Structure 1
Amino acid sequence: MSQESRELRFAATLVEFADTLIGDFDPALHLSRLADRCVEFLGARGAGVTLLEANGRPGPVVHGARQQESVRELLEWEQEAGPVHDSLASGRAARAVHLASREAVTHWPEFTAAARRFGIAAAYAVPLRRRETLLGALSVYTPHPPSGDGGLAIAQSLADATTVGLLNHRAYAQYRQLSGQLREALASRVRIEQAKGMLAERWGTTPDGAFDTLRQYARRNRRPLDQVARAVVHRVLTDAQLRADRSGPA
Protein backbone atom coordinates (compact mmCIF):
# COMPACT_ATOMS: atom_id res chain seq x y z
CA MET A 1 0.00 0.00 0.00
CA SER A 2 1.44 3.41 -1.02
CA GLN A 3 1.84 6.18 1.55
CA GLU A 4 -0.97 8.18 -0.07
CA SER A 5 -3.30 5.16 -0.06
CA ARG A 6 -2.40 4.48 3.55
CA GLU A 7 -3.22 8.06 4.56
CA LEU A 8 -6.55 7.94 2.73
CA ARG A 9 -7.35 4.61 4.36
CA PHE A 10 -6.52 6.07 7.79
CA ALA A 11 -8.74 9.12 7.18
CA ALA A 12 -11.61 6.88 6.06
CA THR A 13 -11.17 4.80 9.21
CA LEU A 14 -11.45 7.87 11.45
CA VAL A 15 -14.72 8.80 9.74
CA GLU A 16 -15.93 5.20 10.07
CA PHE A 17 -15.34 5.18 13.81
CA ALA A 18 -17.08 8.53 14.35
CA ASP A 19 -20.12 7.64 12.22
CA THR A 20 -22.32 5.68 14.64
CA LEU A 21 -25.75 7.33 14.29
CA ILE A 22 -27.46 4.19 13.04
CA GLY A 23 -30.16 2.07 14.60
CA ASP A 24 -28.39 -1.30 14.36
CA PHE A 25 -25.06 -0.10 15.80
CA ASP A 26 -23.12 -2.87 17.59
CA PRO A 27 -20.61 -1.53 20.19
CA ALA A 28 -18.75 -4.87 20.48
CA LEU A 29 -18.25 -5.06 16.71
CA HIS A 30 -17.19 -1.41 16.67
CA LEU A 31 -14.46 -2.06 19.27
CA SER A 32 -13.39 -5.26 17.53
CA ARG A 33 -12.82 -3.24 14.34
CA LEU A 34 -10.76 -0.75 16.32
CA ALA A 35 -8.46 -3.57 17.43
CA ASP A 36 -8.15 -4.90 13.88
CA ARG A 37 -7.35 -1.43 12.51
CA CYS A 38 -4.56 -1.07 15.09
CA VAL A 39 -3.01 -4.28 13.77
CA GLU A 40 -3.37 -2.96 10.22
CA PHE A 41 -1.94 0.52 10.75
CA LEU A 42 0.60 -0.17 13.49
CA GLY A 43 2.00 -3.53 12.43
CA ALA A 44 0.97 -4.86 15.82
CA ARG A 45 0.81 -8.50 16.80
CA GLY A 46 -2.52 -7.81 18.48
CA ALA A 47 -4.70 -5.17 20.14
CA GLY A 48 -7.77 -5.03 22.32
CA VAL A 49 -9.98 -2.86 24.46
CA THR A 50 -10.70 -3.15 28.17
CA LEU A 51 -13.93 -1.41 29.15
CA LEU A 52 -14.72 0.12 32.51
CA GLU A 53 -17.68 -1.05 34.56
CA ALA A 54 -20.05 1.47 36.14
CA ASN A 55 -18.18 1.00 39.44
CA GLY A 56 -14.88 2.00 37.83
CA ARG A 57 -13.43 -1.51 37.78
CA PRO A 58 -12.05 -3.10 34.59
CA GLY A 59 -14.76 -5.11 32.88
CA PRO A 60 -15.35 -6.76 29.50
CA VAL A 61 -12.49 -7.10 27.04
CA VAL A 62 -12.82 -6.97 23.26
CA HIS A 63 -10.19 -8.03 20.74
CA GLY A 64 -10.13 -8.13 16.97
CA ALA A 65 -12.10 -10.67 14.99
CA ARG A 66 -8.98 -12.02 13.28
CA GLN A 67 -6.66 -12.04 16.29
CA GLN A 68 -5.41 -14.96 18.33
CA GLU A 69 -6.89 -15.98 21.66
CA SER A 70 -3.54 -15.09 23.24
CA VAL A 71 -4.54 -11.43 22.90
CA ARG A 72 -7.58 -12.01 25.10
CA GLU A 73 -5.38 -13.73 27.67
CA LEU A 74 -3.00 -10.76 27.73
CA LEU A 75 -5.92 -8.36 28.13
CA GLU A 76 -7.07 -10.38 31.14
CA TRP A 77 -3.57 -10.18 32.63
CA GLU A 78 -3.56 -6.41 32.09
CA GLN A 79 -6.59 -5.91 34.29
CA GLU A 80 -4.29 -6.53 37.26
CA ALA A 81 -1.01 -5.06 35.97
CA GLY A 82 0.13 -3.74 32.61
CA PRO A 83 -0.13 -0.69 30.35
CA VAL A 84 -3.96 -0.83 30.24
CA HIS A 85 -4.14 -1.02 34.03
CA ASP A 86 -1.93 2.06 34.28
CA SER A 87 -3.88 3.92 31.59
CA LEU A 88 -7.22 3.21 33.26
CA ALA A 89 -5.84 4.33 36.61
CA SER A 90 -4.44 7.61 35.29
CA GLY A 91 -6.78 8.34 32.39
CA ARG A 92 -3.69 8.99 30.26
CA ALA A 93 -1.63 7.08 27.73
CA ALA A 94 0.92 4.52 28.93
CA ARG A 95 3.92 4.88 26.60
CA ALA A 96 5.47 1.89 24.87
CA VAL A 97 7.80 -0.15 27.05
CA HIS A 98 10.29 -2.80 25.96
CA LEU A 99 9.09 -5.88 27.82
CA ALA A 100 12.63 -7.20 28.18
CA SER A 101 13.63 -4.11 30.16
CA ARG A 102 14.17 -4.12 33.90
CA GLU A 103 11.42 -1.50 34.23
CA ALA A 104 8.80 -3.77 32.64
CA VAL A 105 9.90 -6.93 34.42
CA THR A 106 9.87 -5.15 37.78
CA HIS A 107 6.63 -3.24 37.26
CA TRP A 108 4.55 -5.96 35.56
CA PRO A 109 6.25 -9.34 36.17
CA GLU A 110 3.30 -11.63 35.39
CA PHE A 111 2.08 -9.67 32.38
CA THR A 112 5.62 -9.32 31.00
CA ALA A 113 6.27 -13.05 31.27
CA ALA A 114 2.99 -13.87 29.53
CA ALA A 115 3.54 -11.32 26.74
CA ARG A 116 7.08 -12.48 25.98
CA ARG A 117 5.84 -16.06 25.87
CA PHE A 118 3.56 -14.99 23.01
CA GLY A 119 6.33 -13.18 21.14
CA ILE A 120 5.37 -9.66 22.23
CA ALA A 121 8.35 -7.31 22.53
CA ALA A 122 6.57 -4.08 23.51
CA ALA A 123 3.17 -2.90 24.71
CA TYR A 124 1.43 0.39 25.22
CA ALA A 125 -2.06 1.68 25.95
CA VAL A 126 -4.17 4.75 25.28
CA PRO A 127 -7.43 5.79 26.98
CA LEU A 128 -10.84 5.84 25.33
CA ARG A 129 -11.64 9.18 26.86
CA ARG A 130 -13.59 12.32 26.00
CA ARG A 131 -13.02 15.13 28.47
CA GLU A 132 -14.01 13.70 31.86
CA THR A 133 -15.68 10.56 30.49
CA LEU A 134 -13.39 7.52 30.51
CA LEU A 135 -14.87 4.48 28.78
CA GLY A 136 -11.85 2.17 28.84
CA ALA A 137 -8.41 1.77 27.31
CA LEU A 138 -6.93 0.38 24.11
CA SER A 139 -3.90 -1.90 24.42
CA VAL A 140 -1.45 -2.52 21.56
CA TYR A 141 1.06 -5.39 21.42
CA THR A 142 3.97 -5.21 18.98
CA PRO A 143 6.58 -7.82 17.99
CA HIS A 144 9.35 -5.20 17.88
CA PRO A 145 10.90 -2.96 20.55
CA PRO A 146 9.46 0.58 20.74
CA SER A 147 10.89 3.27 18.46
CA GLY A 148 9.42 6.70 19.22
CA ASP A 149 5.84 7.73 19.94
CA GLY A 150 4.45 7.63 16.40
CA GLY A 151 2.51 4.45 17.04
CA LEU A 152 1.15 5.87 20.29
CA ALA A 153 -0.15 8.96 18.49
CA ILE A 154 -1.87 6.88 15.80
CA ALA A 155 -3.44 4.60 18.40
CA GLN A 156 -4.68 7.63 20.35
CA SER A 157 -6.24 9.14 17.21
CA LEU A 158 -8.09 5.89 16.51
CA ALA A 159 -9.19 5.64 20.15
CA ASP A 160 -10.39 9.26 20.17
CA ALA A 161 -12.50 8.76 17.03
CA THR A 162 -13.94 5.57 18.50
CA THR A 163 -14.80 7.30 21.78
CA VAL A 164 -16.55 10.16 19.99
CA GLY A 165 -18.55 7.60 18.01
CA LEU A 166 -19.55 5.64 21.11
CA LEU A 167 -20.62 8.74 23.03
CA ASN A 168 -22.50 10.11 20.03
CA HIS A 169 -24.38 6.85 19.70
CA ARG A 170 -25.20 6.87 23.41
CA ALA A 171 -26.67 10.36 23.06
CA TYR A 172 -28.48 9.33 19.88
CA ALA A 173 -29.99 6.26 21.58
CA GLN A 174 -31.12 8.37 24.55
CA TYR A 175 -32.67 10.91 22.17
CA ARG A 176 -34.51 8.17 20.30
CA GLN A 177 -35.81 6.74 23.57
CA LEU A 178 -36.97 10.20 24.71
CA SER A 179 -38.52 10.87 21.32
CA GLY A 180 -40.45 7.59 21.54
CA GLN A 181 -41.66 8.43 25.03
CA LEU A 182 -42.84 11.86 23.87
CA ARG A 183 -44.64 10.37 20.89
CA GLU A 184 -46.41 7.86 23.13
CA ALA A 185 -47.33 10.59 25.63
CA LEU A 186 -48.84 12.70 22.86
CA ALA A 187 -50.69 9.71 21.41
CA SER A 188 -52.03 8.92 24.89
CA ARG A 189 -53.27 12.47 25.31
CA VAL A 190 -55.00 12.32 21.92
CA ARG A 191 -56.74 9.04 22.88
CA ILE A 192 -57.92 10.47 26.19
CA GLU A 193 -59.28 13.60 24.49
CA GLN A 194 -60.97 11.44 21.87
CA ALA A 195 -62.59 9.25 24.54
CA LYS A 196 -63.76 12.34 26.46
CA GLY A 197 -65.34 13.76 23.35
CA MET A 198 -67.09 10.51 22.45
CA LEU A 199 -68.57 10.11 25.94
CA ALA A 200 -69.55 13.77 26.28
CA GLU A 201 -71.39 13.66 22.98
CA ARG A 202 -73.07 10.32 23.74
CA TRP A 203 -74.12 11.25 27.25
CA GLY A 204 -74.92 14.90 26.64
CA THR A 205 -72.48 16.01 29.32
CA THR A 206 -69.38 18.19 29.49
CA PRO A 207 -65.90 16.91 28.53
CA ASP A 208 -64.80 17.46 32.15
CA GLY A 209 -67.66 15.30 33.39
CA ALA A 210 -66.77 12.56 30.92
CA PHE A 211 -63.14 12.78 32.03
CA ASP A 212 -64.17 12.35 35.68
CA THR A 213 -65.98 9.14 34.71
CA LEU A 214 -62.93 7.83 32.85
CA ARG A 215 -60.64 8.63 35.76
CA GLN A 216 -62.91 7.07 38.37
CA TYR A 217 -63.24 3.88 36.33
CA ALA A 218 -59.46 3.69 35.92
CA ARG A 219 -58.93 4.12 39.67
CA ARG A 220 -61.59 1.59 40.64
CA ASN A 221 -60.13 -1.01 38.33
CA ARG A 222 -56.48 -0.03 38.81
CA ARG A 223 -55.93 0.43 35.11
CA PRO A 224 -53.91 3.16 33.35
CA LEU A 225 -56.11 6.01 32.14
CA ASP A 226 -54.74 5.68 28.61
CA GLN A 227 -55.72 1.99 28.56
CA VAL A 228 -59.27 2.88 29.59
CA ALA A 229 -59.45 5.62 26.95
CA ARG A 230 -58.26 3.17 24.30
CA ALA A 231 -61.02 0.73 25.33
CA VAL A 232 -63.60 3.50 25.01
CA VAL A 233 -62.35 4.57 21.58
CA HIS A 234 -62.48 0.98 20.34
CA ARG A 235 -65.90 0.47 22.01
CA VAL A 236 -64.66 -2.36 24.24
CA LEU A 237 -66.06 -0.73 27.41
CA THR A 238 -69.81 -0.22 27.69
CA ASP A 239 -71.54 2.76 29.27
CA ALA A 240 -72.84 0.49 32.01
CA GLN A 241 -69.34 -0.69 32.88
CA LEU A 242 -68.01 2.85 32.97
CA ARG A 243 -70.79 4.15 35.21
CA ALA A 244 -71.07 1.16 37.54
CA ASP A 245 -70.67 2.19 41.21
CA ARG A 246 -69.56 5.63 40.06
CA SER A 247 -69.51 8.41 42.62
CA GLY A 248 -70.08 12.01 41.62
CA PRO A 249 -71.76 13.52 38.58
CA ALA A 250 -71.08 12.33 35.04
Structure 2
Amino acid sequence: MQHGSREALLASALLEAADTLSDSFDAERYLQRVSDHCVEIVGARAAGIMLIDGGEAVSLAASSRQQDVALDLLAVQHLGGPCLDSYGTGRPVPPVSIGAAHAASRWPDFTQRALRHDIAATFAVPLRRRESLLGALNVFAPALPDHHAPPEEHWSVRLAQVLADAAAVGLQNHRLYAQYRALTGQLQVALSSRVRIEQAKGMLAERWGTGADRAFRTLRQHARRHRLPLEEVVAGVIDGSVDPCGPGD
Protein backbone atom coordinates (compact mmCIF):
# COMPACT_ATOMS: atom_id res chain seq x y z
CA MET A 1 0.00 0.00 0.00
CA GLN A 2 1.31 3.43 -0.91
CA HIS A 3 2.12 5.82 1.94
CA GLY A 4 -0.36 8.46 0.76
CA SER A 5 -3.10 5.89 0.39
CA ARG A 6 -2.52 4.65 3.94
CA GLU A 7 -2.70 8.21 5.27
CA ALA A 8 -6.02 8.76 3.49
CA LEU A 9 -7.43 5.52 4.90
CA LEU A 10 -6.26 6.43 8.40
CA ALA A 11 -7.81 9.88 8.19
CA SER A 12 -11.12 8.38 7.07
CA ALA A 13 -10.98 5.78 9.84
CA LEU A 14 -10.31 8.38 12.53
CA LEU A 15 -13.18 10.54 11.30
CA GLU A 16 -15.53 7.57 11.45
CA ALA A 17 -14.25 6.61 14.90
CA ALA A 18 -15.19 10.06 16.21
CA ASP A 19 -18.79 9.80 14.98
CA THR A 20 -20.45 8.26 18.06
CA LEU A 21 -22.82 10.99 19.28
CA SER A 22 -25.99 9.39 17.99
CA ASP A 23 -28.98 7.59 19.47
CA SER A 24 -28.61 4.95 16.74
CA PHE A 25 -25.03 4.11 17.76
CA ASP A 26 -24.34 0.36 17.63
CA ALA A 27 -21.24 -0.56 19.65
CA GLU A 28 -20.76 -3.96 18.02
CA ARG A 29 -20.97 -2.55 14.51
CA TYR A 30 -18.71 0.33 15.53
CA LEU A 31 -15.98 -1.97 16.83
CA GLN A 32 -16.28 -4.15 13.74
CA ARG A 33 -15.67 -1.11 11.56
CA VAL A 34 -12.58 -0.18 13.61
CA SER A 35 -11.31 -3.74 13.13
CA ASP A 36 -12.02 -3.54 9.39
CA HIS A 37 -10.04 -0.31 9.12
CA CYS A 38 -7.16 -1.87 11.03
CA VAL A 39 -7.04 -4.86 8.67
CA GLU A 40 -7.01 -2.61 5.64
CA ILE A 41 -4.47 -0.09 6.93
CA VAL A 42 -1.86 -2.46 8.37
CA GLY A 43 -2.40 -5.26 5.86
CA ALA A 44 -3.52 -7.82 8.42
CA ARG A 45 -5.33 -11.06 7.80
CA ALA A 46 -7.92 -10.30 10.47
CA ALA A 47 -8.39 -8.22 13.61
CA GLY A 48 -10.68 -8.09 16.59
CA ILE A 49 -11.48 -6.09 19.69
CA MET A 50 -12.07 -7.38 23.18
CA LEU A 51 -13.78 -5.08 25.67
CA ILE A 52 -12.68 -5.97 29.18
CA ASP A 53 -14.09 -5.06 32.57
CA GLY A 54 -12.64 -6.28 35.84
CA GLY A 55 -10.14 -8.46 34.01
CA GLU A 56 -12.81 -10.40 32.11
CA ALA A 57 -14.02 -10.05 28.52
CA VAL A 58 -17.47 -8.49 28.32
CA SER A 59 -17.76 -8.06 24.55
CA LEU A 60 -16.04 -9.31 21.39
CA ALA A 61 -16.09 -7.80 17.91
CA ALA A 62 -14.17 -8.86 14.82
CA SER A 63 -13.34 -7.66 11.34
CA SER A 64 -15.60 -8.61 8.45
CA ARG A 65 -12.63 -10.35 6.84
CA GLN A 66 -12.27 -13.83 8.36
CA GLN A 67 -14.68 -12.88 11.12
CA ASP A 68 -15.14 -16.43 12.40
CA VAL A 69 -11.37 -16.88 12.75
CA ALA A 70 -10.94 -13.60 14.61
CA LEU A 71 -13.84 -14.29 16.97
CA ASP A 72 -12.49 -17.77 17.69
CA LEU A 73 -9.06 -16.37 18.49
CA LEU A 74 -10.56 -13.75 20.78
CA ALA A 75 -12.82 -16.21 22.57
CA VAL A 76 -10.00 -18.66 23.34
CA GLN A 77 -8.09 -15.97 25.23
CA HIS A 78 -10.09 -16.39 28.42
CA LEU A 79 -7.09 -18.35 29.74
CA GLY A 80 -4.52 -15.93 28.38
CA GLY A 81 -3.50 -14.20 25.20
CA PRO A 82 -2.31 -10.95 23.63
CA CYS A 83 -5.49 -9.03 24.52
CA LEU A 84 -5.34 -9.81 28.23
CA ASP A 85 -1.59 -9.14 28.31
CA SER A 86 -1.99 -5.76 26.62
CA TYR A 87 -4.94 -4.82 28.84
CA GLY A 88 -3.08 -5.96 31.96
CA THR A 89 -0.01 -3.85 31.26
CA GLY A 90 -1.69 -0.98 29.43
CA ARG A 91 0.99 -1.33 26.76
CA PRO A 92 1.23 -2.92 23.31
CA VAL A 93 2.20 -6.55 22.92
CA PRO A 94 4.80 -6.31 20.10
CA PRO A 95 4.56 -8.56 17.03
CA VAL A 96 5.33 -12.14 17.97
CA SER A 97 5.68 -15.30 15.92
CA ILE A 98 2.89 -17.74 16.76
CA GLY A 99 5.24 -20.68 16.24
CA ALA A 100 7.82 -19.26 18.63
CA ALA A 101 5.19 -18.38 21.23
CA HIS A 102 3.74 -21.88 20.99
CA ALA A 103 7.17 -23.46 21.37
CA ALA A 104 7.80 -21.32 24.44
CA SER A 105 4.40 -22.32 25.89
CA ARG A 106 3.25 -18.71 25.80
CA TRP A 107 -0.57 -18.59 25.66
CA PRO A 108 -0.79 -22.37 24.91
CA ASP A 109 -4.51 -22.49 24.06
CA PHE A 110 -4.40 -19.32 21.98
CA THR A 111 -1.28 -20.24 20.01
CA GLN A 112 -2.53 -23.76 19.33
CA ARG A 113 -5.77 -22.33 17.93
CA ALA A 114 -3.87 -19.71 15.92
CA LEU A 115 -1.67 -22.37 14.33
CA ARG A 116 -4.81 -24.29 13.42
CA HIS A 117 -6.03 -21.17 11.59
CA ASP A 118 -2.64 -20.69 9.86
CA ILE A 119 -1.97 -17.38 11.64
CA ALA A 120 1.75 -16.61 11.51
CA ALA A 121 2.03 -13.62 13.85
CA THR A 122 0.04 -11.43 16.16
CA PHE A 123 0.22 -8.28 18.23
CA ALA A 124 -2.16 -6.32 20.41
CA VAL A 125 -2.61 -2.75 21.58
CA PRO A 126 -4.72 -1.44 24.46
CA LEU A 127 -7.94 0.53 24.04
CA ARG A 128 -7.23 3.38 26.40
CA ARG A 129 -8.42 6.87 27.14
CA ARG A 130 -5.90 8.56 29.40
CA GLU A 131 -5.91 6.36 32.52
CA SER A 132 -9.00 4.38 31.52
CA LEU A 133 -8.46 0.96 29.92
CA LEU A 134 -11.44 -0.43 28.03
CA GLY A 135 -9.94 -3.48 26.34
CA ALA A 136 -7.55 -4.35 23.53
CA LEU A 137 -7.29 -4.51 19.75
CA ASN A 138 -5.73 -7.77 18.50
CA VAL A 139 -4.20 -8.03 15.03
CA PHE A 140 -3.62 -11.35 13.27
CA ALA A 141 -0.96 -11.12 10.58
CA PRO A 142 0.00 -13.38 7.67
CA ALA A 143 3.70 -13.02 8.51
CA LEU A 144 5.96 -11.63 11.20
CA PRO A 145 7.01 -8.09 10.23
CA ASP A 146 10.65 -7.83 9.21
CA HIS A 147 11.71 -4.27 9.93
CA HIS A 148 14.70 -2.66 11.52
CA ALA A 149 12.70 -0.64 14.04
CA PRO A 150 12.25 -2.06 17.56
CA PRO A 151 9.00 -4.09 17.81
CA GLU A 152 7.24 -1.48 19.97
CA GLU A 153 8.01 1.20 17.38
CA HIS A 154 6.89 -0.79 14.36
CA TRP A 155 4.62 1.26 12.12
CA SER A 156 1.83 -1.35 12.15
CA VAL A 157 1.74 -1.31 15.95
CA ARG A 158 1.72 2.48 16.05
CA LEU A 159 -1.07 2.72 13.48
CA ALA A 160 -3.12 0.13 15.35
CA GLN A 161 -2.58 2.08 18.57
CA VAL A 162 -3.84 5.27 16.94
CA LEU A 163 -7.00 3.44 15.84
CA ALA A 164 -7.44 1.88 19.28
CA ASP A 165 -7.02 5.25 21.00
CA ALA A 166 -9.58 6.80 18.66
CA ALA A 167 -12.02 3.95 19.36
CA ALA A 168 -11.58 4.39 23.13
CA VAL A 169 -12.34 8.10 22.82
CA GLY A 170 -15.37 7.35 20.65
CA LEU A 171 -16.73 4.79 23.12
CA GLN A 172 -16.28 7.07 26.11
CA ASN A 173 -17.83 10.00 24.28
CA HIS A 174 -20.88 7.89 23.46
CA ARG A 175 -21.18 6.78 27.08
CA LEU A 176 -21.14 10.40 28.21
CA TYR A 177 -23.64 11.28 25.48
CA ALA A 178 -25.97 8.46 26.57
CA GLN A 179 -25.72 9.55 30.21
CA TYR A 180 -26.46 13.14 29.23
CA ARG A 181 -29.47 12.06 27.17
CA ALA A 182 -30.80 9.93 30.03
CA LEU A 183 -30.35 12.77 32.53
CA THR A 184 -32.02 15.22 30.17
CA GLY A 185 -34.97 12.87 29.82
CA GLN A 186 -35.27 12.47 33.60
CA LEU A 187 -35.14 16.23 34.13
CA GLN A 188 -37.77 16.75 31.43
CA VAL A 189 -40.09 14.23 33.05
CA ALA A 190 -39.55 15.83 36.46
CA LEU A 191 -40.21 19.31 35.07
CA SER A 192 -43.34 18.16 33.26
CA SER A 193 -44.59 16.47 36.42
CA ARG A 194 -43.95 19.61 38.45
CA VAL A 195 -45.82 21.75 35.96
CA ARG A 196 -48.84 19.41 36.07
CA ILE A 197 -48.82 19.38 39.87
CA GLU A 198 -48.82 23.18 39.94
CA GLN A 199 -51.68 23.19 37.43
CA ALA A 200 -53.77 20.79 39.54
CA LYS A 201 -53.00 22.76 42.74
CA GLY A 202 -54.12 25.96 41.08
CA MET A 203 -57.37 24.41 39.82
CA LEU A 204 -58.30 23.06 43.25
CA ALA A 205 -57.26 26.20 45.11
CA GLU A 206 -59.46 28.30 42.83
CA ARG A 207 -62.36 25.85 43.10
CA TRP A 208 -62.24 25.72 46.89
CA GLY A 209 -61.10 29.28 47.55
CA THR A 210 -58.11 28.07 49.56
CA GLY A 211 -54.33 28.28 49.39
CA ALA A 212 -52.16 26.25 46.99
CA ASP A 213 -50.40 24.48 49.86
CA ARG A 214 -53.73 23.28 51.29
CA ALA A 215 -54.74 22.06 47.84
CA PHE A 216 -51.50 20.12 47.48
CA ARG A 217 -51.96 18.44 50.88
CA THR A 218 -55.41 17.34 49.79
CA LEU A 219 -53.99 15.92 46.55
CA ARG A 220 -51.38 13.97 48.48
CA GLN A 221 -53.89 12.70 51.05
CA HIS A 222 -56.20 11.52 48.27
CA ALA A 223 -53.34 9.67 46.59
CA ARG A 224 -52.37 7.94 49.86
CA ARG A 225 -55.96 7.09 50.78
CA HIS A 226 -56.60 5.42 47.45
CA ARG A 227 -53.05 4.05 47.06
CA LEU A 228 -52.52 5.84 43.78
CA PRO A 229 -49.41 7.55 42.39
CA LEU A 230 -49.60 11.29 42.91
CA GLU A 231 -49.07 11.85 39.18
CA GLU A 232 -52.17 9.74 38.41
CA VAL A 233 -54.29 11.81 40.82
CA VAL A 234 -52.93 15.03 39.33
CA ALA A 235 -53.76 13.84 35.79
CA GLY A 236 -57.28 12.96 36.94
CA VAL A 237 -57.83 16.41 38.49
CA ILE A 238 -56.68 18.09 35.27
CA ASP A 239 -58.91 16.00 33.00
CA GLY A 240 -61.85 16.11 35.45
CA SER A 241 -61.98 12.38 36.22
CA VAL A 242 -60.86 12.79 39.85
CA ASP A 243 -62.46 15.09 42.41
CA PRO A 244 -60.64 14.95 45.78
CA CYS A 245 -62.52 15.88 48.87
CA GLY A 246 -62.37 19.61 49.55
CA PRO A 247 -60.53 21.01 52.54
CA GLY A 248 -63.76 21.48 54.42
CA ASP A 249 -64.86 17.86 54.05
Q: Same fold (TM over 0.5)?
A: yes
| Structure 2 residue 170 is matched with structure 1 residue 165 | yes
What are structure 1's unaligned runs of at least 5 residues? Answer: none
Moved beyond 6 Å, runs of 4+? none
8 Å contact from structure 1 (residues 105, 112) kept in 2: no
Deviates more, 1:146-155 or 1:41-50: 146-155
User: How far 1:31 sits from its partner (Å)?
Assistant: 0.5
Deviates more, 1:203-212 or 1:24-33: 203-212
1:216 aligns with one of 221, 229, 241: 221
CA–CA separation in structure 2 for the residues paired with 1:186 and 1:231: 18
* Secondary structure of 2:193 counterpart: helix
Hey, what does 2:26 align to over in structure 1?
Answer: 26
8 Å contact from structure 1 (residues 97, 104) kept in 2: no
User: How far 1:103 sits from its partner (Å)?
Assistant: 7.4
User: How far 1:59 sits from its partner (Å)?
Assistant: 2.7
Which amino acid is 1:125 matched to? A
**1:215-239: per-residue Cα shift (whole Å, max 9, x none)?**
111122222222211111111102x
8 Å contact from structure 2 (residues 36, 64) kept in 1: yes
**1:93-136: per-residue Cα shift (whole Å, max 9, x none)?**
11111122267632123322221221211101111111222211
2:233 aligns with one of 210, 222, 228: 228
User: How far 1:7 sits from its partner (Å)?
Assistant: 1.2
8 Å contact from structure 1 (residues 98, 146) kept in 2: no
CA–CA separation in structure 2 for the residues paired with 1:160 and 1:102: 27
Which amino acid is 1:13 matched to? A
Hey, what does 2:189 align to over in structure 1?
Answer: 184
User: How far 1:249 sits from its partner (Å)?
Assistant: 5.4
Hey, what does 2:3 align to over in structure 1?
Answer: 3
Which amino acid is 2:113 matched to? A
CA–CA separation in structure 2 for the residues paired with 1:107 and 1:249: 83
Q: Per the alignment, do residues 104 and 83 of structure 1 end up closer, same or farther by CA in structure 2, a change over 3 Å counting?
A: farther
What are structure 2's unaligned runs of at least 5 residues? Answer: none
Hey, what does 1:47 align to over in structure 2?
Answer: 47
Which amino acid is 1:193 matched to? E
With the length of structure 1 as denominator, give the TM-score of the two structures.
0.90
CA–CA separation in structure 1 for the residues paired with 2:168 and 2:113: 29
* Secondary structure of 2:133 counterpart: strand
1:47-196 to 2 correspondence within 5 Å?
Answer: 47-53=47-53, 55-101=54-100, 105-147=104-146, 148=151, 149-196=154-201
Deviates more, 1:155-164 or 1:131-140: 131-140
CA–CA separation in structure 2 for the residues paired with 1:103 and 1:67: 22
With the length of structure 2 as denominator, give the TM-score of the two structures.
0.91
8 Å contact from structure 1 (residues 86, 94) kept in 2: yes
Q: Per the alignment, do residues 104 and 97 of structure 1 end up closer, same or farther by CA in structure 2, a change over 3 Å counting?
A: farther
Q: CA RMSD in A?
A: 1.9
CA–CA separation in structure 2 for the residues paired with 1:155 and 1:57: 22
CA–CA separation in structure 2 for the residues paired with 1:82 and 1:12: 30
Q: Per the alignment, do residues 103 and 2 of structure 1 end up closer, same or farther by CA in structure 2, a change over 3 Å counting?
A: closer
Q: Per the alignment, do residues 104 and 133 of structure 1 end up closer, same or farther by CA in structure 2, a change over 3 Å counting?
A: farther
